[in-house]
Structure formats: C-alpha cells, structure tokens
Chain A
Amino acid sequence: MLTLIIVVGILLVLGILFLIFRIGNLVGLVKGKEEDVAESNSVHAYLFILFMIASLVGFFWYSYAHFDSYTLPVASEHGELTDYLFWVTMAVTVVAFVLIFVVMFWFTFKYRYDKNRKADFVADNHTLEIVWTVIPAIVLALLIFSGLRAWNDITDEASKEAAVIEVIGQQFLWTARYPGKDNLLGKHNYQLIDASNEFGLDLRDQNTFDDFKSLELHLPKGKEVKLVIRAKDVLHSVFLPHFRVKMDAVPGMHTTFKFVATKSTADMRSETGNPNFNYEMACTEICGRGHFSMRFPVFVHDSVEDYEKWLYSQDAWLKQNPDYLKQVPAELREAAFVKAGIPLSSQEVLTAAPVSVTLN
C-alpha cells in the first residue's frame, strides 16, 4: 500500500512538472520572442562565477579543516620521500589548477554575450603558444626527475642484510613465511601444497627446515625489510598504507618490495594518541568475493633486538608438522632436526622409509 502511494505520488509530481513545462512552452510561443541569444544568458555567467567561488572555498576549507582525516601518518623511510614528492606535486598542481580554473570561469563571465560587442578575431599567437608549451614541459621534467630518482632507489635491489619475509596471498587471506635464523627462504612448489603444507615447501631444500609461518606480519623498526610476494590462486596486491608500500602478488612469479619501517606500533600509538592503533595490510587488486576482507595485522617491533627475539621464539613449520619429516631426504634428516629445533627424542616419529616426493 505504501509503495502504491509513493508511486502515485511520484507520478503526480512528474505530471505537475510536465504541465509546468508545457505551460512554459506555450507562454514562450504566445510571447513570440525570437531572439538569437536567450535572456538568461548572463545568468549562466553569474552561476559560473558562483560555482567557481563556492567550489574553491569548499576545496580549501575541507582540505584544511579535515587534513588529519585524509592524511595517513607515514612510517617508512621511502614513504617520507614519496609523501614529500606528493605534496610538492600537490603545491605545483594546485597553483596551476586554481590559476586556470579562475581564469577560465572569469573569461566565461567577462566575455558573456553582449549584443553591442563583437568577438576579437584572434586565431593564434605563437609566442603565447610556445610559452605555455615550454613552461609545463619544464615543470613536468623537474617533477619527473625527482620522481624517477625516488623510484629507482625504492625499486633498487635490497641489501644482503635485509630481513627477508615472504607474503603469500590467497582467496581471501594472507600468510607470511619467515626464513628463520638463516634468513633464507626455502624452495617451494605449488604442486606440493596440501592442507598442512600451505606454502608448498619443498623439504628437499635445507633452507625450508627453519622457515615458519605467521598469521601476523612482524617487522623490525629501523632495519631494511625485503618482502617477497607471491599468490597462490589469483592476483592480489600487498598494500601497507602507513608504509606507502604496494606490490601485486602474482601467481607464478615473485615480486619484491623493500622498505624500512621508521615507527614501531608503540611509537604510532603514542603519535596518534590511539592506544588501540594497529598497522594493517590490505589487498588492493580485485580478487573475488572476499577482496574487501583480506586484512592482515601488522606489528612493528620497537627494535631489531625485539624483532629478533620474536623471530627466534617462533617454532619452525617443520617442528609443528613433524609428519612432514618423511619428505626430508634421509641424508638431510639430522640437519632438519637441528635447524627446525626438534628435540632428538622425537626421532621415532620417523619410522617409515623415506617417502620420495614426486613432482610432475
């Protein structure tokens, strides 16, 4: 019933509007005015000026008053640089934007139709054209070169000392694999993935023995981190908004991103005055139904020592999944026990003969 009333109401309003339109048309016909330019011409000129002022005031007011709500605090070394470039570009473009915006709407106002005036026949002006081609070219060149220098540094090889962390995307969650004490990620193969071996660790490689899994991304403060990124199923994208880090996770290849976190979670809690502050990682490449829910908690330790303490306190994946010791070649078993930190007393787990791993 309510729907019916609403529908009838809408129809009535539309009918009235139509009538007004018809009457307006008929009145126009009766008046019989046949002018080249409508009387309302100047109205638009004034409206444009009004629009220009209102939109610029709105733009500057909101940008100033809500600055804190749309700027994320930055917590990485390169992020400070890219933020700086962002704001330099902002300054340059806002000046250009406001200038052109104002001039354009001023012209539409100033040169609105006047039947006593004739437009100037100005077809071109080479000096002017050269000037406004060269100036943007120079400004852009400056912006490009500062941007490219930053880009080259950011995408440069990570240093050998960098803490390596593998981040793996899948529908619809993230996992992290840490290389353990050797700082070397073991080999993996997607065909070895199963319910427990979600990384697809290839246990014939010694470097896998001390690798461990984490459901939270732990980072050291003040030490370079190299993220090694991959995806299991479809494209995902690692996005660490506070660290200005973004890199796609691509099935079939590794991508990398190196950065240095400059503020620990505790630092950020005191900076933002929010005791519950937590860094987060999100997915920024459409990956299906749960794309919007791929939250991965991030924790930045106060120091490298803290980070390492956490790192060394984690159990190796192999230790948590001793069944998989069967896949370790016999000659490497002992090394596996040592590296994975499995007490020798549990050696009896390995009763059966070594299982050979087949890869097709």
Chain B
Amino acid sequence: MATIDIHPHTTTHHDDHAHEHEHHHGNFWTNYVFSEDHKVIAKQFLITGMIWALIGGVLSVLFRLQLGFPDADLSWLKPILGGWLTPEGKIDPEFYLALVTMHGTIMVFFVLTAGLSGTFSNFLIPLQVGARDMASGFMNMLSYWFFFVSSVIMFISLFISTGPASGGWVIYPPLSALPQAMQGSGLGMTLWLVAMAIFIASSLLGSINYISTVINMRTKGMSFTRLPLTIWAFFFTAIIGILSFPVLFAAALLLIFDRSFGTSFYLSDIYIGGEALPNQGGSPILFQHLFWFLGHPEVYIVLLPALGITSEIIATNSRKPIFGYKAMVGSMLFIAILSFVVWAHHMFVTGMNPFLGSIFTLLTLIIAVPSAVKIFNYVTTLWKGNIRFTSAMLFSIGLVSFFLTGGITGIFLGNSAIDIQLHDTYFVVAHFHLVMGSASFFGMVAGVYHWFPKMFGRMLDEKLGYIHFWLTFVGVYLVFFPMHYIGIAGFPRRYYSWTNFETFSGFADLNMLVSAAAILTLSAQFIFLFNFIYSIFRGKVAPANPWNSNTLEWTTPRNPGHGNWPGEIPTVYRWPYDYSKPGAKDDFIPQHIPYSETPESNFPHENELIKLELNNETIKVEGKHGH
C-alpha cells in the first residue's frame, strides 16, 4: 500500500504539466487570485460574502432608521446618501424601496447563496469526501469570478443616479418592467438583471462541480451512507440549484425582452404616465410562477447548507452521534423534492386560480413534517450529550431555535385561508427572517467558527465569539419577534411610513425597539469582523483537530496545500458520527480509523466488517496496479 504513493498533483492536473508546475512555485496571482484550489476559492467566496453581508446589514439599518425613528433628522448621513435625503433630512420614499430591494437581493443571493453555499460547499466537499480538489478546478475558479463580476455590477448599481432596482427583491413586473413606474426600474433594474444572469451562471458552474465531486471523487470507503450530513446537504442544495436557477434565468430573460425589445410576456393593458402602452396578452402572474419556481427552492438552497453545517457541529459538540442519520438524509431529500411543488404558496392572493391555492396549501403543509423531524432530531442529539459550548455550537443552537420559532409561523402562512390576512404583512417578514434569514446566517457564522482553524490554521478568539453570539442571538429575537405582533395587526410590508392610516397608527414603540435592536445586532457583527481579521494573522495556532472531530478534513495538515493531503488520501472505514462510542478510549473515532484497530468498541456487525476492510486493501492494491 505504501509503495503506491500518488503524488497529490498528478491526480488533479494529470493532463496539464505546465499548469501543475505553476502550482508548485505559483506567484501571488495564481495562488490567491486566479486560484483553482477549492480552499482558496472558498475563502474568496467567504470574504466577498462577508463584505456583502456588511453592505446588506447597513442597508437594513438605514431603512430601520426611517421606520423606527420617523421623525429623526438624518442629515448627518448626507455625505453617504447625498441626494437620496429629502431637504428635511428624511430618506426619500423611493430610495427607501431601493434599500429594501437591495437588502433582500444581497442577503438572499449574494450572502446566503454565494457566501454560504459557495464557501462551505467549496471548502468542505473535497475535504470531507476525501478528494484532492473539485472535479473541475477551472470551472470552480470560473464560478467565483462570475460571482465576482456579478457582484461588481450589482455594487455599481447602488451608485447610479437613478438608484438601484427598487421594485422589491421579487422584482414583479410591470413595476420592474416600466421605467415610467419608478426610477429604479430604469438602469438600476437593467444592472440587476445582468448581475443576476451572471450570478446564475456562477451558481450553476458551482453546483455542477459540487454534484460531480460528491458522486465521483469520494475516497475509498466513503460510501454515500458514510457521508457527513454537511455533504448530503450541499449535495441536495446543488441539485436544487441546478434545477431551479435556470428557471429564474428564463424569467429574467423574458423580463429583459419585455423591457428592451417590446415583447409582452408579462405586460398587458397598461395605462401609465398618460399613455396606453401597446403591450397586450401578457400576464404578470406568469412571472410570479417562474420567479417562485426558483424563489421557493431558493429558501432551501439557503437553508439546507446551514442545516448540514449545524448537524455536523451539534453532533461534534454534543459528543454524540447525530440522532437519526437516515431520517436526517431522508427529510432533506423529501424537503428537496417538495421544495419544487410548493412555490405558489407565495401567490395565494395574487389572482391565481383558487383551486391551485388548495393544492399548494396541501403540499406546503406536508413540507412542515420533514422540517419538524429535523428539529426533533437536533433536540434529541442534545439529549444525553456532553455539550461543549464552543462559539460554533452556540450559533448552531441559535439556528435550531430560529428554525423552530420561524418555522412554526409557516403553518399559518401555508394555510391559504389564514394567509389572506397575513400575506405581505410584517408577519411574513418575521417568519422568513427567522426561519430562513437568521437561521441560515447563524449556520454560516457557526461554520466559520468551526472551520476557521482549517481555513487559516489559527483559532478564532472564543471569548469574542461568545460576546458575538449572545448579542446577535438576543438582538435577532428582539428584531424579528415583535414583528409578529405588528403583522397580526395588519401592518403591510415595504411601507415607508404608516401614518397615512388610522388602522396602522400604533406600534411606534415596537418599531423603535426593533430598529434599536437592529443597530445593536449590526454593531455586534463588527466584533466578529475584528475577530476574523485579527485571528487570521494573530490568532492562536490551531491544533490538528481542535474539536476532536471525526470527519476527514481534520486529517490534513494544519495548512493543507493544493491537493489537501501530502501523502495518500485516507481511506474511510466508518460513518462520521462515532462519538462517545461505548468501550472506546477517546470520545471520538475518526472516519479513517479501521474497525480492526478498535476491537474494544466495535459492535458485532462491525466486527464482521473487519474482514471486508482487509479485502478492501487487496482490491485497492490490485486496482492501483491496473492503472
């Protein structure tokens, strides 16, 4: 076995010698900028995602200032906002909508899709399945740079004189199709569509890579049933992405046609600006169907990776196997399938045929079952564990708590009859910010705390992590929980101010609380930002396996090079959740430890496997000779 040592680079770049050479003595550009190493690409996604998160967060605080302190004089923001402030020092109502729109777009796509999936799928898939790199390093690099270009275009759109896209992150036409309807539907919307088209290309390139890597490049012994739940989650996420993002692309393309080439896919019978437009026969509802055909699976594209990360972290830090591994995989599969047939629950009162509403109510509430199963499994994993509250663990528990709090309100919204009143109110805002926004964000942050040592070879400061967690955890609840009350009272979302209505005249106090909590929560993120940057350079040097974890990434050197393992890729002999196994001397047995080395803790059926392990060795050697 030891005689057949594969050189790490020959497997990844076997047909490109010149290229391989570069990676040995690569310069700054090939090592850090146009790198094909999945780990570098992951870090690029992470850092870009963090910058976007900061921008998205600042935008939300800006519009929360308007909602929480409607009488405040914001003239001090003049240097940043310039003409977007009215002479009285208020945010311009149209710019308010731009803020809301861009906050949504940035958070959903650039932070929680690219920043989360892009970072952790890239980083963890090869490391945890035991591969030298992604199936196609080049495509992977391309995926980041498409994302980068898309980011630059979206970023530029924030600064143009007519403002960025402002029709809500769902960009429903005709509002988004007609520059006459609002300023933001001019150049801002064009840039939005271009940026998103490129973003979709990036996402597809990434997803194809994730899927092929998971299917084809698992190391010896890494059967599907031995995959960590993180990988299962990334795998399902990528499949959902591949199936749904092209539909958004189609939707966007048709919208581009309507905007620029005079087609009428979404437009009909419109009289605007003193003029009857010639467009006839289109349907705005068609766009909504196409949009939500991506839009709903998107929720799970955002959520599943976070749930996968949490599964891993909760099991590791409870020192217990994840409860119901098969049920976890099964529920993710079920969620992935169902996520494609629930989209119209966003459209109960949009004029869609009510019969469709009944069907989608039924399907929507079915999806609550696997989601509930996941929560029960997390809680039961904690049960009789021996819980270490690392920062990552705290954020994971926070995630489960948000997933519960926000998920349960989905039962109201998924029920079409109840949704009539709650649709497009703050109840919805509270629901999805908790279940999807905050939960996924916590998953992402938990992932950073957990895998930072592997990314940068140093530890994040745990104490700062604790402060970051508690401020954020309490802050998020204070921001989003009060919104349930505001929503039950009927307050519509995307309102610049409610003072025009007697019905919505109350809750100035709660809105102020929400805004103050939002500012607190955003401020707390700077602690994390400091911790992150400081620890990259000055953090405590990370041990090989800081969390005593079972998965393969912890068998690599402290700073793994391109190719991940200097020697042969470890073979996998067991599932990743042998924590606190009875009889074992440590409370964890990594995946690459054969059963033959742990006779003291093996179950009877595992002893049977020892024979197979030996066979495996011979098969492997023969296989290698065959090459």
Which residues of A are at the interface with B, using a C-beta cutoff of 8 A? 3, 18, 21, 24-25, 36-38, 40-41, 44-45, 47-48, 51, 55, 59, 62-63, 66, 69-72, 79, 81-83, 85-86, 89-90, 92-93, 96-97, 100-101, 103-104, 107-108, 111-114, 117-125, 128-129, 132-133, 136-137, 140-141, 143-144, 147-148, 150-152, 154-155, 170-171, 190-191, 193, 195, 200, 232-235, 237, 239, 241-242, 244-248, 250-253, 255, 276-278, 280, 282-293, 295
Contact = CB atoms under 8 A, between A and B. Distances in A.
Contact of A285 (B94, B181, B420, B424): B424
A244 B421 CA distance: 5
Given A144-B362, A244-B421, A291-B496, A111 B411 contact: no
Contacts of A44: 389, 394, 466
A51 B167 CA distance: 38
A136 B379 contact: no
Given A81-B417, A136-B372, A286-B494, 6 more contacts: A108-B387, A150-B417, A234-B272, A246-B420, A251-B269, A276-B502
Interface in B343-402: 349-351, 354, 357-358, 361-362, 365-366, 368-369, 372-373, 375-376, 378-380, 382-389, 394, 397, 400-401
A72 B490 contact: yes
A288 B577 contact: no
B492 A144 contact: no
B423 interface: yes
Nearest to B92: A289
A97 B405 contact: yes
A124 B324 contact: yes
A189 to B, nearest CB: 8
Contacts of A235: 172, 174-175, 284
5 contacts: A70-B488, A97-B405, A119-B587, A133-B373, A280-B503
B297 interface: no
Contact of B388 (A37, A71, A234, A282): A37
B462 A38 contact: yes
B389 to A, nearest CB: 4
A286 B97 contact: yes
A103 B327 CA distance: 20
B270 A251 contact: yes
B416 A97 contact: no
Given A55-B477, A118-B580, A133-B373, A248 B351 contact: yes
A191 B272 CA distance: 11
Contact of B354 (A89, A155, A286): A155
B408 A123 contact: no
A125 B462 CA distance: 35
B415 A85 contact: yes
B13 interface: no
A97 B484 CA distance: 15
Interface string B577-593: 10111100001000000
Contacts of A200: 271
B262 interface: no
Given A190-B271, A193-B271, A119 B416 contact: no
B35 interface: no
B320 A120 contact: yes
Contacts of B76: 3
A284 B488 CA distance: 14
Contacts of B384: 111, 119-120, 122
Contacts of B69: none
B610 interface: no
Contacts of A83: 421
Tell which of A72, A85, A121, A278 has the most Cβ of chain B within 10 Å.
A121
Contacts of A62: 485
A113 B175 contact: no
Contacts of A71: 488-489
Given A121-B321, A200-B271, A113 B327 contact: no
Contacts of B417: 81-82, 85, 147-148, 150-151, 154
Contacts of A59: 481
B271 A233 contact: yes
A323 to B, nearest CB: 19
A260 to B, nearest CB: 15
A305 B461 CA distance: 75
A190 B405 contact: no
Contacts of A125: 323-324, 380
Contacts of B579: 119, 121
A156 to B, nearest CB: 8
Contacts of B577: 123
A85 B420 CA distance: 12
Interface in B235-265: none
A125 B379 CA distance: 14
Contacts of B354: 151-152, 155
Nearest to B405: A97
B299 interface: no
A104 B400 contact: yes
B500 interface: yes
Given A96-B408, A97-B405, A136 B494 contact: no
Given A140-B411, A232-B271, A293 B351 contact: no
A263 to B, nearest CB: 14
B349 A247 contact: yes
Across the A-B interface, the 8 shortest Cβ-Cβ residue pairs? A252-B268, A155-B354, A255-B351, A241-B490, A147-B415, A44-B389, A119-B580, A150-B417
A136 B410 CA distance: 14
Contact of B492 (A101, A148, A248, A284): A284
A119 B586 CA distance: 12
A336 B375 CA distance: 67
A134 to B, nearest CB: 9
B389 A112 contact: yes
A70 B388 contact: no
Interface string B268-287: 11111010100011111100
A294 to B, nearest CB: 8
Given A97-B404, A97-B408, A143-B415, A289 B462 contact: no
A143 B267 CA distance: 37
B376 A93 contact: no
B418 interface: yes
Contacts of A132: 372-373, 376
A30 to B, nearest CB: 14
Contact of A101 (B172, B281, B404): B404
Contact of A104 (B97, B282, B401, B582): B401
Given A284-B492, A289-B97, A113 B386 contact: yes
A290 B495 CA distance: 9
A250 B404 contact: no
B589 to A, nearest CB: 11
